Amino acid sequence: MRKRHVLDLMNRHMSIKHQLSHRRFSHTSTLLHINSSPLYGRSVSRQLTGAFVTQWKSSHPDGTVVDRDLNATSISPIAAEWVGAAYTPEEARNPQQKELLALSDTLLAELEQADEYVFGVPMHNFGVPTVLKLWIDQIARVGRTFSYADGTPKGLLTGKKATFIIATGGIYDAQTQMASFNFVEPYLRSVFGFLGVTDATFLTTGGTAALNYGQDRDAFLAPHLQVVQSHAQTN
C-alpha cells in the first residue's frame, strides 16, 4: 500500500516535471515589450521593464522579444476619417482608408503575434501617458480586438498574458487617502479586460518622487526589481 503511494507520488512528480520542461523548451513564445515613459535613462518603469525582459529571455532562451517604444512612435489622435475607415468593412475600404489604418494594422499585428505583453507605464496627471492613450486608440478596433456581434461586447484578444509595470511619484495604495486619484490601474484593467486580456498582473512602484529628494536609486529600486524579476521568471 505504502509502496504504491510512493510510486504514485513519483509518477505525479515526473509528470509535472515533464510538463514544465515541455512548456519551457518546446513552445517558442513572443513577448511584446511596450514602453511609454519619456524619461528614458531616468525612467523607473523603463528600468523595470528592462529587468523583466532580461529575466524573461533567460527563462525563454528560444523566445522572441518585440520592442515598441511609444515615445519613438508617431501616432496621431483619432480623426473622423480614421473612424470612418475603421467602421467600413475591410473589403469595402478604398486605398486612402487602408492607408489611414496602416499604423493601426501594424500595431495590431504586434499584439496578435505576441503571447505575452509587458508594459512600462508612468503615471502622468493621475492617468496613463498621452502616448499610451494614443496607442490604445489605435488598437481598440471593432472586429479586430472587440466586437458587438450579438449585442454584447466581446474581447477578441484572448489567450494573452499581460504585465503592467507602473511607476508613480506619489503613493496610491488601497485604503490611502490618494487611492481614488489613481486612474492608471483601473483604466488599464478595464480597457484590456474589454479587449479580452483578462490575465493581467499589475506591479506598481509607488513613491518614486523620493528619488528627486536624495533617496538612493539602487536601494529604492532593489525590492521592486526583485518582484519584477521573480514575476518574469515564473511567467
Q: What share of the chain is helix, strand, coil (3-state, %, to 5)?
A: 50, 20, 30
β-bridge pairing 154-155 and 146-147: antiparallel
- Residue 125 as a binder of ligand FMN (CB under 6 A): the answer is yes
Q: Smallest distance, Å, CB 86 to ligand FMN? A: 29
- Residue 39 as a binder of ligand FMN (CB under 6 A): the answer is yes
Nearer to ligand FMN, 145 or 168 (CB): 168
Q: Smallest distance, Å, CB 132 to ligand FMN? A: 12
Nearer to ligand FMN, 126 or 202 (CB): 126
Are 117 and 199 contacting, i.e. CB atoms less than 8 angstroms apart?
Answer: no
Calculate the CA dihedral of residues 51, 52, 55, 56 and round it to 10 degrees.
-150
174: which 3 cell numbers?
488601497
Query: If residue 31 lies in a helix (H) or strand (E), which one and from where to where?
Result: strand 30-35
Of 60, 124, 141, 160, the one binding ligand FMN by CB under 6 A: 124
Q: Which range touches ligand FMN (CB under 6 A), out of 92-100, 105-113, 164-172, 222-230?
A: 164-172
Q: Which range touches ligand FMN (CB under 6 A), out of 16-24, 119-127, 141-149, 156-164?
A: 119-127
Q: Which range touches ligand FMN (CB under 6 A), out of 84-92, 118-126, 193-201, 221-229?
A: 118-126
31: which 3 cell numbers?
513577448
- Residue 169 as a binder of ligand FMN (CB under 6 A): the answer is yes
How far is it, in rounded angstroms, from Cα 220 to Cα 207?
A: 10
Of 75, 167, 225, 228, the one binding ligand FMN by CB under 6 A: 167
How far is it, in rounded angstroms, from Cα 9 to Cα 13?
A: 6
Q: Smallest distance, Å, CB 144 to ligand FMN? A: 29
How far is it, in rounded angstroms, from Cα 172 to Cα 162?
A: 21
- Where does this chain bind ligand FMN (CB under 6 A)? 37, 39, 43-46, 122-126, 167-170, 208
